[in-house]
Structure formats: C-alpha cells, structure tokens
Structure 1
Amino acid sequence: MLLPGPAPDPAPGPGQVLIEVAHANLTFVETMFRATGFGPFPTAPPLIPGNGVGGVISAVGADVEPELVGRRVVSGTGGSGGYAERVVVDRGAPIEVPAGLPLDEAVAMLADGRTATMLVRAAGLRPGDRVLVEAAAGGVGTLLTQLAAAVGAQVVAAAGGTRKVALLRERGLDPVVDYRQPDWTDRVRAATGGVDVVFDGVGGQVARDAFDLLGASGRMLSFGLASGTWADLSAELAAARGITLLRPSAAPAQLRAFTEQALAEAAAGRLRPLIGQRFPLEKAADAHAAIESRTTVGKTLLDLH
C-alpha cells in the first residue's frame, strides 16, 4: 500500500548532491514490485519507491564542485527513494538537462528514452524494414515509433483498446491495429505482408502472435510485459525459423550515453515524449492504480512543483 507521509530531510554526504525534485517518473515495473514485494528494495517498511527524478541541485556534499548548485538534472536514485520532495544521489548519477528542454519532458525521457534508443540500436534497423511496435501508446512505444520512422522503417503500431488506437492515429501513425481484436495479425499481414522486426512490450499471447508475423532473418526484442508475463518463446523454435530473439542490456556507462542521446534528440525537437497523465505526489497510489488498470497512455509522472 502506498501512503503519503513524512520522512527525514536528506543531506548530501561526501561525493553526493541533493536534488529538489520537481517530477518523479513512474513505471509499470514499480507497480509490480509494490504488488509482489519483489524488487530491489529493503524488505523492512517503510520504504519510498521510485527510481527516476528530475529537479534542481540545491546542495552538494564535501568534495563536490559548488557550481553544480542550481543546475537542472535528471537522475536515477539507485532503485528507490524517488517518490519524495528531495533525494540524495552520488555526484556521478545526475545528467544535466539540455537547455530548452522542459524538466517534465526530460523526466519522461529518462527511463523510456534510453530504453527506446537502446532497443533501436540493438535491432539494427534499416530503411524499409517493416517494424511492429506493441504497446505503441505507452511511454517506450511512442518513442520507438518515432525512432523507427526516423530510420526510414515502415511502422505498424499496435495498442490495446479503441482509445489508444485513436490516439496513435491522431499522432499520425498508420497503420494502427488493436491487438485485443482477434483478427489483428491478419490486419498487420494485409498491410505489410509480414514484419522484419517486433518490439514486444506486451508479452504473453500477443507476443506469441506477433512472433508468427516474422519471417526469416526477423528480429524480436522484448522490453515489457504489459500482459503480466514474458513471451514464452524458445530459442530452439526461433532458430528453426531463422529468427533472432533479443533482450538487450547495457553497462551503466552505455545506459548513460543512451539517456544523453535521447535527451539531446528531445531538446532538438526530433523526439517527443507523450506525457499522458500526471498526479501530485500524495496521489501516488492513484497513479499506480491507473497504470495497473492499463488505461494510461505515454508516460505517467508525479508532479511536485
């Protein structure tokens, strides 16, 4: 259960900075951690969830350059502590937000932007590739559609429900299919003849159906499990069909580089995050409920300032 409450004001120690939080990032995985108790959190309550924030550095600890005070940054928190007015992180954790990029958009890009950038790199997209993006109305999905189109790929967007389908069409995507409809794969095949790349953000049966749309030399990259389970696809089956299954990961330095690249693209206006809903900090439980109901679109933020 998520309940608002007081916590001691953190103070930066040696090699640390204090961030006055303006926006906190929420993810589907955090709702699963809360519901199951499984995750990178201490077991003894109380705990403060949240792994991504944006704000202004207001104080620094010993051995940290004082000119950092006042800089706008986004930062991971190490797995917890982000749903708070102030957080302390190591000096090397924050990434400065490019000039001209609003803080809320930067926070929306923090986790989703680096993930989408990493996925597109791992997929090795080429002009003319036929690309299916599942959960295309989600935070990562909306960015994947833009990045794939920028490469010159033919993008098919798949989302669950008429509201999300309509939203994607309003954003200029075509074709768009509703994967809750039984004939959705037929619609994809009719539009494209099959696909070369699947970005799987749903898992479960949707992912298995999407897998069947891939031809030889196809690539399937899984990044989410909105259905509650990962795709149950064996490496042996994929190899027999000449399909490569990918679940890319990256070292911390690479993840930072992907984040910086995504922020730069957003600052240049070439990548637009969709902030679908906002909640005040004290309504974090409502935000989790909205995500769990699968009614949200784009990124969900907690707004503190």
Structure 2
Amino acid sequence: MIDVAYANITFVETQIRAGNGPFPVNLPMIPGNGVGGWLDGRRVVASLNGSGGYAEQAAGGEVFEVPDGLALDDAVALLADGRTATLLTDAAAIQPGERVLILAAAGGVGTLLTQLALRAGAEVTGAASHFKHDVVTSLGATATNYELKRPGRSSLVFDGVGGEVARRAFEALEPGGRMLSYGLASGAWADISAEEAGARDVTLVRAGRPTREHTERALRSGLRPVIGQRFALEEAAAAHAAIEARATTGKTLLVVQGE
C-alpha cells in the first residue's frame, strides 16, 4: 500500500463525477488515477488504473520511483500531464522555427507542452483566458485569447479545448500544418474531418497511447510543472468546482499527508 502524500486531479475526473465521463464507471468508486507518496520507505508516484487516489492509502497500479532532486508534489504533477505532453511532442516532431499554437496553454498539460515546444526551438503562442496570460508569458511564450483574432499562421496546433476554439485554430493553420487534439475542455471534441483537413493540406496527427517510457522520461525531463492550486483531501469537492469554473491554472493537487 502507498501512503499517499498528494493526489492528482484531472479534468476527466470532474466529468466522471458529474456523470459526463468519456467512459462508463462502476459505482461506488473512489476518484483519483494518480498519487505520490511512500512505498516501503521509497518516494514513488503511481498510476492507479482509473480510481482510488483520493485516499490516505492507495493500492496497486503502475509504480515509478521519484528521481533524486525532484520534489514529490512536482512528480505527481508530472505523472499524467508530463506523460501526455511527452507523448504529444513525440508525435508532433516539432522542428526549430516552427510556429506552434497551444490551446489551454495555462493548464497542466499546456504549461508542459509550452516548455517542450520552446526547448525544441519553436516560436510558441499560448491561448488562455486573459487572467491566465501571466502564466503563459512567464514560461517564455506569447499569450493570446481564445478568440484567436491575431494568432498569425501556425505550423502546428496542440488542441486541449475542442469545440469552436479548435475550429478557429484549425482555420489559422498554414498549408502543410499539423493539428493534435487531445482534450475537450469545451465539452466537445474538435469537429474536423480528415477530408476537410486534407482539402486544406493539414495533417490531423494521432498520438497513440502513452507507455511507461513516456512517464519515466517526463519524471527525468527537468520540466517545471506549474502547481496552481492545492486543496486538502476533504476539500476535493471545492477543487472540482474550481476546475469546472475554469478558475485554475496549471495543475491542481489534493494534499493528503503532504511531505
């Protein structure tokens, strides 16, 4: 059993709790797919196969040792989002000088995608709500709002929003551009067909499934996760409400025992 210090919260968990999740669940269930804490005296993080993380102890799952020099809360913040960001940037094969547009750039995955794209030598613009622009610019990217009135032509779009915002980002892609959709913060996936993309010479890139290697690389990447909010375990409902209200930045963690 893992003695839980921190539990990861994802947007999908808020959807599941509200009855709008992308897959069916068997009730009763304890939310939480990722935790960090101690197992036999070792600092570890673990993916829990979908549930069980909002607890003082968690069992099973895929366990990773936390590298020396990485804080335990940062490791939890990298567990799901770092894995996803690493997978997406691998699939995108970013080239130096490309113009990259990241939607939901102030979120958990978005802040990490921003760092990885900048490392690859891209010119990065991050779309976020106006009050979150400071988060985007603090990472070294240019901030824009979701109207995308002046984003310029993009070579590559990372879409964590979907809906009409994704549509506007697609229309701002240059011929030969690429788009990776991985989230639906708007409540709907990007409604862009392969035929429509092909007519504009745009490639819709599918990233595939993450592997253990993606998580291990994220934990050793030197990425700086943005932990915007921390809530006590008994405040999990308030944490979900904040995420659903789009009032959060970066990663939101539940502090169970802390360090």
Tell me whether the two structures share a fold, i.e. TM-score over 0.5: yes
Distance 1:34 1:239, change over 3 A: same
Could you say which residue in structure 1 is the equivalent of 2:15? 32
Could you say which residue in structure 2 is the equivalent of 1:137? 106
Could you say which residue in structure 2 is the equivalent of 1:48? 30
Q: Is the partner of 1:221 in helix, strand or coil?
A: strand
Could you say which residue in structure 2 is the equivalent of 1:303? 255
Alignment of 1:102-113 (within 5 A): 102-113=71-82
Q: Contact 2:115 / 2:139 at 8 angstroms: preserved in 1?
A: no
Q: Is the partner of 2:35 in helix, strand or coil?
A: strand
Q: Contact 2:103 / 2:126 at 8 angstroms: preserved in 1?
A: yes
The whole-number CA distance in structure 2 between the counterparts of 1:87 and 1:120 is 31
Correspondence for 2:52 among 81, 84, 95: 81
Could you say which residue in structure 2 is the equivalent of 1:188? 151
Could you say which residue in structure 2 is the equivalent of 1:218? 177
Q: Is the partner of 1:36 in helix, strand or coil?
A: coil
Per-residue CA shift, 1:190-209, capped at 9, x if unaligned?
xxxx1110000111000000
The whole-number CA distance in structure 2 between the counterparts of 1:42 and 1:108 is 24
TM-superposed CA distance for 1:255, in Å, is 1.9
Could you say which residue in structure 2 is the equivalent of 1:265? 221
Could you say which residue in structure 2 is the equivalent of 1:285? 237
Root-mean-square deviation (Å) = 1.4
Counterpart residue identity of residue 138, structure 1 = G
Q: Is the partner of 2:179 in helix, strand or coil?
A: strand
TM-superposed CA distance for 1:38, in Å, is 3.9
* 4+ aligned runs moved over 6 Å, structure 1: none
Greater Rg over alpha carbons, structure:
1
The whole-number CA distance in structure 2 between the counterparts of 1:237 and 1:260 is 37
Correspondence for 2:69 among 86, 100, 105: 100
Unaligned 5+ segments in structure 1 are: 1-17, 58-68
- Overall identity of the aligned pairs, in %: 57
Q: Contact 1:204 / 1:229 at 8 angstroms: preserved in 2?
A: yes
Counterpart residue identity of residue 173, structure 1 = G
The whole-number CA distance in structure 2 between the counterparts of 1:166 and 1:280 is 26
The whole-number CA distance in structure 2 between the counterparts of 1:255 and 1:159 is 29
TM-superposed CA distance for 1:130, in Å, is 0.6
Q: Is the partner of 1:207 in helix, strand or coil?
A: helix
Q: Contact 2:78 / 2:218 at 8 angstroms: preserved in 1?
A: yes
Could you say which residue in structure 2 is the equivalent of 1:5? none
Could you say which residue in structure 2 is the equivalent of 1:175? 142
Alignment of 1:157-172 (within 5 A): 157-160=126-129, 162-169=130-137, 171-172=138-139
Per-residue CA shift, 1:249-287, capped at 9, x if unaligned?
22xxx5210111011013xxxx10000000000110000
Q: Contact 2:229 / 2:251 at 8 angstroms: preserved in 1?
A: yes
The answer to which of 33-42 and 108-117 deviates more is 33-42
TM-score of the aligned structures, taking structure 2 as reference length: 0.95
TM-score of the aligned structures, taking structure 1 as reference length: 0.81
Q: Contact 1:158 / 1:176 at 8 angstroms: preserved in 2?
A: yes
Counterpart residue identity of residue 76, structure 1 = S
The whole-number CA distance in structure 2 between the counterparts of 1:276 and 1:206 is 23
